[in-house]
Amino acid sequence: MKKLLTCLAVLSLSVTQLAATEKAPKKNIVETAVEAGSFNTLAAALKAGGLIDALSSEGPFTVFAPTDEAFAKLPKGTLEDLLKPENKDKLVSILKYHVVSGAVPAAKVVKLKEAKTLIGKTVAIKSGKSVYVNKSKVIKADIRTSNGIIHVIDTVLIP
C-alpha to C-alpha distance for 152 and 159, rounded to whole angstroms: 18
Give percent above pLDDT 90 in the chain: 78
Q: Over range 127-131, report the average pLDDT.
A: 93
Q: Over range 6-34, report the average pLDDT.
A: 60
Q: Over range 84-98, report the average pLDDT.
A: 96
SS3 (DSSP) at 3: helix
Statement: residue 9 has pLDDT above 50: no
Whether the CB-CB separation of 138 and 152 falls below 8 Å is answered with yes
- Mean pLDDT of all residues belonging to the chain: 87
* 7 vs 64, residue with greater confidence: 64
C-alpha to C-alpha distance for 92 and 15, rounded to whole angstroms: 44
User: End-to-end distance of the chain based on CA atoms, in angstroms?
Assistant: 65
Domain 25-153 class, CATH top level: mainly beta
